[in-house]
Chain A
Amino acid sequence: MYDGRVKPRAFWALAVSVATTVGCGAERPAAWTYISPAIIQPNCATSSCHSRLTASAGLDLSDIESGYRSLMAQKLPDGSGRPRNEYNDKTGAPRPLVTPGNPSGSRMLNMLRGFGAPLMPPDRPLPEADIALIESWILEGASHE
């Protein structure tokens, strides 16, 4: 988590990557440590939405740690029209926003696609590639890595 200090090596690491990696064609990693700062934070943690202060709908997606905690622990209240696989088969209770290994049962992914849920982000939907990357992350176990 950001400790408020800028580390000297941060600049040099960035400078080296600028100088050496122009046009690199490697695939983007389906990892939360990439997805959070590259996709979730810029699109979801804006002021008046899922930021630290506002935490709309109780979700703080402003950094890697709090975002992961929110998605893995929080459940949206029950509502009509939700896909059945968003509920626990045994208890019938809503599952967390992310169910590892189960993209179609993850409320988060259904909201990003507007499937049985309000579309998120409402102002600017994510490109397909970003959603697909999040789907891969969930399918691969939704680890914190």
Chain B
Amino acid sequence: MSRGAARVLWAPALAGLSLILATVGHAPWAEAYPQWQFSSQTSRCSQCHYSPAGGGIVTGYARDAVGEELSTFEGDGAFLHGALDLPTGLALQFDGRFAGLWHDNGATTGPERAFFPMQADLSGRMALGEAFSITATVGYRGQARSIDQTLGPGAPAPAAASRFISREHYVMWRPESQGPYLRVGRFFAPFGLRLAEHTFYVRRDLGFNLLEETYNLSTGWVKTDWELHVTAFGPDFLRDEGPREAGLAALYERRFLDVSTLGTQVRLAISGERQRLVTGLLGKYYLELARLLFQTELNLLHTRYTEADTWDQGFVGYLGLVYFPVRGVWLTPFVERAQTALRDGDSATNAAGLQINWFPYPHLELVLQARAQRPAGDHGLSADTVVGFLHYTL
């Protein structure tokens, strides 16, 4: 990154930090983070994941919790079901997903049905001394639709190589489980609710769609009742895939009263064709008596289109209500909205759906999601989708 670019990034960095610091108040000490880990009294994503902001390879603590407390039926959550003890400092994990899809977008060809391998990833983490570690994930990503249609002479050939990828690879300095950290490499910058499904608008429309992990220099501070993450990011320069954007993302979350979190975030992404500033709020509230978790993320987008010399204000939001009826089961009705331009009310798409997650046994997850998407306008286009997948973790 050039010195000029670095200077440019200081300004939004300071603006973002100002916004974040403005929301930091004095709150009581909090214990639990209201996600499904609530039942095990975890308060931070990094208790169950080696990543300071969650996601990716899980810790031994998480494997024990899944085996003994979180799955419907108990079992051994350890690597390879406990058949092999890994050397101290080494963690391995395999994630495989196989999906079935029914999708009706009103096309004259009728509803689409597909069965496909969704994911086959092998992840590893090696501790390098007390404070440093190296993490990498390599694997295969399947897709529902064929890319093998080709055009006439001169057309670029579809590249099946895009399915083989290392989504994450980074080096991290983190001397303690709580406190400061520094990470360099490829991963998603900590931002938003960090939902697992890339199809949610708060992921796909904000730069966190499938295989859009950026190269980052990320730092932050994680404590029991709050966490701050600041990330300078750049495009995938190795594969030249995804948005060619560089910029800065910051996320601050504070946990209150053992049952809720409130966060604020800002992301500035700049490319040669577009500059986009995202400011957002996210929140979670767990109502223990009813076993309900309310979670939401609301973002305002301000986008300037350089070559067209115009701008848009847009919106991307998500609201979900997670119900935990029995151990290992979540039911989540949700609504979403994405609007390209607030000045044009017909540029929005709304969605609503229901997602069921079942963790019957350690290493196994079954997911079923039904979703209806309704783009604005009277053109009659829509998309109704039912997708189910089996997720197996070793």
Taking Cβ atoms with an 8 Å cutoff, the residues of A that contact B are: 1-8, 10-11, 13-15, 17-18, 21-29, 31, 33-34, 36-39, 41-42, 46-49, 51-60, 62-64, 73-77, 81, 113-114, 116, 118-119, 122-132
In the complex, which residue of chain A has the Cβ closest to the Cβ of B4?
Answer: A8
**Digit string of B1-15 for contact with A (CB within 8 Å is 1, else 0)?**
110110111011000
Q: Which residues of the other chain, A, contact B9 by a CB distance below 8 angstroms? A: 6
Question: Is B59 positioned at the interface, with any CB of A under 8 Å from its CB?
Answer: no
A56 to chain B, nearest CB (A): 4
Which residue of chain B is the closest to A13 with respect to CB atoms? B304
**B313 partner, pick from A22, A52, A113, beta carbons under 8 A:** A22
Which residues of chain A are near B73, meaning CB under 8 Å? none
Interface contact B277-A126, CB-CB below 8 Å: no
Q: Bound state CA distance, A49 and B341, in angstroms?
A: 24
- Cα distance A60–B244 in the bound complex, in angstroms: 14
A34 pairs with B241, CB closer than 8 A: no
Given the contacts A10-B306, A22-B313, A130-B340, A37 and B273 also touching, CB distance less than 8 Å: yes
User: What is the size, in residues, of chain B's interface with A at 8 Å between Cβ atoms?
Assistant: 87
Q: A23–B342 Cα gap in the complex (Å)?
A: 8
In the complex, which residue of chain B has the Cβ closest to the Cβ of A8?
B8
Question: A14's contact among B149, B304, B378, by CB below 8 Å, is which?
Answer: B304
Chain B residues with Cβ below 8 Å from A54 are 147, 158-159, 162, 241
Closest CB-CB distance, A71 to chain B, in whole Å? 12
Q: Identify which of A2, A77, A81 gathers the most chain B CB atoms within 10 Å of its CB.
A: A2
With A5-B2, A122-B103, A128-B377 in contact, do A58 and B8 touch (Cβ < 8 Å)? Answer: no
B375 within 8 A of A: yes
User: Knowing A13-B275, A17-B302, A46-B210 touch, does A122 contact B8 (C-beta < 8 A)?
Assistant: no
Are A129 and B381 in contact, with the CB atoms below 8 A?
no
* B194 interface hit (Cβ, 8 Å): no
**Contact between B349 and A127, CB atoms less than 8 A apart:** yes
23 A-B contacts (beta carbon < 8 Å): A10-B270, A13-B304, A17-B304, A28-B312, A29-B310, A33-B305, A39-B340, A47-B242, A48-B147, A53-B161, A53-B240, A53-B241, A55-B159, A56-B158, A57-B158, A59-B155, A62-B244, A63-B273, A74-B151, A124-B373, A124-B375, A124-B383, A128-B346
How does the 8 Å CB contact mask read for B280-323 relative to A, with 1 for contact and 0 for none? 00000000000000000000001111111011110000000000
Interface positions of B from 73 to 117, Cβ below 8 Å from A: 103, 105-109, 112
Name the one of A11, A26, A52 contacting B343, with C-beta atoms under 8 angstroms. Answer: A26
Decide: A46 near B209, CB < 8 A? Known: A28-B312, A54-B162, A129-B347.
Answer: yes
Question: A47, A58, A73: which has the most chain B beta carbons within 10 Å?
Answer: A47
Assess whether B18 is interfacial by the CB under 8 Å rule: no
Q: What's the nearest-Cβ distance from chain B to residue A35, in Å?
A: 8
Contact partners of B145 in chain A: CB under 8 A:
56, 122
Contact across chains for A37 and B239 when beta carbons are under 8 A apart: no
Contact A114 B383 (CB under 8 A): no
Cβ-defined contact, B379 with A28, below 8 A: no
Chain A contacts for B379, CB-based, 8 A: 113, 128, 131
Whether the pair B308, A11 counts as a contact (CB closer than 8 A) is: no
A28 touches B343 (CB 8 A): yes
Does B39 have its Cβ within 8 Å of any Cβ on chain A? Answer: no
Q: A47-B209, A122-B383 are in contact. List 9 more A-B contacts (CB 8 A).
A: A6-B1, A7-B8, A23-B343, A25-B343, A28-B341, A28-B343, A42-B205, A48-B163, A56-B145
Contact B378 A57 (CB under 8 A): no
Q: Is the interface of B mostly helix, strand, loop or mixed?
A: loop
8 Å CB interface, B374-390 against A: 375-379, 381-383, 385
A6 to B270, Cβ gap below 8 A?
yes
A132 to chain B, nearest CB (A): 8
* Contact of B211 with A by CB under 8 A: yes
The interface residues of chain A lying within 8 Å CB-to-CB of B112 are 122
Give every chain A residue within 8 A of B199 (Cβ-Cβ): 123
Residue from the list A37, A38, A76, A125 in contact with B381, Cβ < 8 A:
A125
CB–CB A75/B152 < 8 A: yes
In the complex, what distance in Å separates the CA atom of A135 from the CA atom of B274?
22
Q: Which residues of A contact B381 (CB under 8 A)?
A: 113-114, 119, 125-126, 128
B105 contacts A58, C-beta separation under 8 Å: no
Q: Do A122 and B105 contact each other (CB < 8 Å), given the known contacts A10-B270, A53-B240?
A: yes
A7 to chain B: which residues have CB within 8 Å? 4, 8
Chain B, residues 149-170, CB within 8 Å of chain A (1/0): the string is: 1111011111101110000000
Q: For the complex, what is the distance from the CA of A46 to the CA of B240, rounded to whole Å?
A: 12
Establish whether residues B151 and A57, one from each chain, have CB atoms under 8 Å apart when the complex forms.
yes
